[in-house]
Amino acid sequence: MNLIRRTLSSLAVAALVVGTAVAQQTPPKPAPVPRPVTPEAPVPPPPDVDGKSWVLMDYATGQVLASKDPDLRVEPASITKVMTDYVVSAEIANGKIHMTDPVTISENAWRSGGAATDGSTSFLKLNSQVPLKDLLYGMIIQSGNDAAIALAEHTAGSESAFANLMNAYAKQIGMTNSNFENASGYPIANHYSTARDIAILSRALIHDFPEDYAISAVKDFEWNGIKQHNRNLLLWRDNIVDGIKTGHTAAAGYCLAASAKQGDSRMIAIVMGASNEKARADAALALMNYGFRFYETHKLYDSDKPLATPKLWKGQSNQLPLGVADNVLVTVKRGDYDKLKATLDIPATLVAPFTKGQQVGTLRLTLDGQPVQNVPLIALADAPQAGFFGRLWDSIMLWFHSDKKPDETK
């Protein structure tokens, strides 16, 4: 398929259609936020932190800003409970279960996740009934294995059935290198994830279920007369940190999924396999501070505003407005904003009909020639076919156009 490639400058888009150049103004690329003038200096490499693998992700765009072995398969330990939290929150949102549901603590949950296993526990009593909300708090804040198993059994009937749900949701949100066999993170064969996948999961939880995510910022929770503190040390060290979850086993090492918000920016740091509890906290905080200090997020284009209106053939209208479904955000190193380049790839010939939201082309963002982001370019309105004579006339005109080469812009 022939494409017309159009470059979006900071001022306008040169919109060329087959055979005719049409100048079209578009929203200008916004100027960077004014900042105090400081001497220009190259952005340093990310800190060398303790951890078998780690990822620093920008929340707004999902871009990985820095990483070490991000796709290394590792045991996620209790960070598994972030996936459990996501599934439970999704099933609540779908009306399948409810925060007020009474959940019976089975012998399996009591025995497999209780204090006798020498793991994290909420000290739930056998055969007691606990409100689902309290189990969610116990799992997220206290890292209760018994709470995680009880939630899984209530949600899906059994922990193995719940694991199937975990894997289905993981695939749905874009986790491509993970497999879950249980709800608690108890070590078992074929139960694994990666730092990148945990970052994707963390971003999805924050975005999709912000109220449930907020539980991870609570510093302590009491159940059965026993008060336990959140194991995320960063909640006490920096007030911009508001989550997410710790994990530890002998095989997995010390793991931490952390997130912090500073102004309009949010960073997510995933550290897997650190040497001790303090090291994982130090590593996550150093990574997030690096992101806040040396990167900035910009909104380039607004949703539902035309970036181009190319010629439309055989339609009731003779133009098709094209734009993006969501605001286009990009995160770059400080000082690199002016190096961004945007181009539109649009088929050379557009023939009605089109429906609103249908992908027609692609908005491509590059920095120094390297791809940054590809965004679907969609029809912003329905474009039904013209009547018989309109289609006939355009068919004749297209026949004359077929021998002409589409114009291109540089």
Residue-wise DSSP of 85-104 = HHHHHHHHHTTSS-TT-EEE
> Token pair for residue 69?
């072995």
Q: What is the pLDDT of residues 373-409, one digit of tens each?
A: 999 999 999 999 887 866 766 677 777 766 554 443 3
Strand bridging mode 241-249 / 253-262: antiparallel
Q: Which range has the top average pLDDT, 8-17, 68-77, 339-348, 360-369?
A: 68-77
d(CA 358, CA 166): 31
| pTM more than 0.85 | no
200 and 283 belong to one structural domain: yes
Whether the pLDDT of residue 24 is over 50: the answer is no
In a domain, 286, yes or no: yes
Residue 312 and residue 367 in one domain: yes
Kindly state whether residues 312 and 371 are assigned to the same domain.
Answer: yes
User: Which residue out of 68, 81, 245, 314 is catalytically annotated?
Assistant: 81
Instruction: Compute φ and ψ for 241, nearest 5 degrees.
Output: -80, 130
**What element of type H or E holds 145?**
helix 145-156
- The pair of structure tokens assigned to 319 is 């133009």
The kind and range of the H/E element at 373 are strand 370-379
Residue 198 forms part of a structural domain: yes
Element (H, E) at 35: none
Local confidence band at 219 (pLDDT 50, 70, 90 cut-offs): very high
Residues 108 and 254 in one domain: yes
367 shares its domain with 317: yes
Q: Residue 245: which residues within 8 A CB-CB, separation 6 or more? A: 78, 79, 81, 82, 140, 143, 216, 232, 256, 257
Do 252 and 396 fall into the same domain?
Answer: no
The number of domains in the chain is: 2
* pLDDT, the chain, mean: 88
Residue 407 placed within a domain: no
Q: Tell me, what CATH number does 321's domain have?
A: 2.60.410.10
Confidence check: pLDDT of 254 > 80: yes
Annotated active-site residue in 106, 120, 122, 143: 143
**Structural domain ending residue among the three candidates 246, 275, 296:** 296
Quick check: is 78 catalytic? yes
Please say if 133 is a catalytic residue: no
pLDDT in tens, 89-126: 999 999 999 999 999 999 999 998 765 455 789 999 99
pLDDT of residue 115: 55
In a domain, 166, yes or no: yes
Asked if the structure places residue 344 within a domain, the reply is yes
- What residues make up the domain containing 311? 3-27+302-401
- With a pLDDT cut of 70, the percent of the chain lying above it is 85
Pick from 296, 328, 345: which residue ends a domain? 296
Q: Is 89 a catalytic residue?
A: no
Could you tell me if 140 and 206 lie in one domain? yes
Domain assignment present for 43: no
**Residue 103 domain-assigned (yes or no):** yes
Q: Are residue 16 and residue 156 in the same domain, yes or no?
A: no
Which element (helix H / strand E) includes 223? Answer: strand 220-223
Q: How far apart are CA 188 and CA 194, in angstroms?
A: 16
Domain boundary among 270, 296, 322: 296
Residue of 78, 122, 178, 216 with catalytic role = 78
Q: How many CA atoms lie within 13 A of 193 on its CB side?
A: 37
28-42, 74-88, 305-319 — most confident range: 74-88
Is the domain of 68 the same as that of 15?
no
Q: Are residues 190 and 282 in the same domain?
A: yes
CATH number for the domain that contains residue 195: 3.40.710.10
Q: Are 53 and 120 in contact (CB under 8 A)?
A: no
Residues 375 and 287 in one domain: no
Task: Say if 42 falls within a structural domain.
Answer: no
